[in-house]
Structure 1
Amino acid sequence: MEGRCLGKNKWPEVVGMDGDEAAEKIERENEKVNAIVVPEGSVVTMDFKCTRVWVWVDKHGRVTRMPKIG
């Protein structure tokens, strides 16, 4: 499904970064998405949206997974 979304759709380079800084970078690089910082273990909706990027962070606020559109 990612192929149908416009603009950059994956950000492997932000793993390990501060979550808020990663979210800002993601939104700068693809103005069509809203990057949402979420603590690991949180429950989120499973529907797919081209306008959403989950930014998963650990208890220190560091990105733990590659953010991608979804």
Structure 2
Amino acid sequence: MPLLVSTTLGKSSWPELVGVQGETAVAIIERENPLVNAIIVPEGSFVIQDFRCSRVWVWVDKNGTVYRVPRIG
């Protein structure tokens, strides 16, 4: 049975962005790790549950503020 290994290059988590506006967070994430695509997700939305090394969900509240630590996935 083959061993599946997930490798993530560059920064993978941004706890310092909790409390920041979503658009600002997206710009910072994509600048700090150009290998990922940061996507704003409004609170209460559903997202696909597959893991992708090239994607970061940026969860924002009704005011557009990041309320969950953005991380690769």
Query: Where on the TM-score scale, by shorter chain, does this alignment land: which range?
Result: over 0.9
Which blocks of at least 5 consecutive residues in structure 1 are unaligned?
A: none
Is 2:55 the partner of 1:52? yes
Structure 1 residue 13: deviation in Å?
0.4
Which structure: larger Rg? 2
TM-score relative to the length of structure 1: 0.95
TM-score, with structure 2 as normaliser = 0.91
Once the 2 structures are TM-superposed, how far is the Cα of residue 31 of structure 1 from its aligned partner? 0.2
Hey, which of these two has a bigger chunk of helix by percent? 1
Q: Could you say which residue in structure 1 is the equivalent of 2:32?
A: 29
Aligned residue runs from structure 1 range 35-46, under 5 A = 35-46=38-49
Runs (4+) of structure 1 moved beyond 3 Å?
none
Helix, strand or coil for the counterpart of 1:53?
A: strand
Q: Which runs of 5+ in 2 are unaligned?
A: 1-5
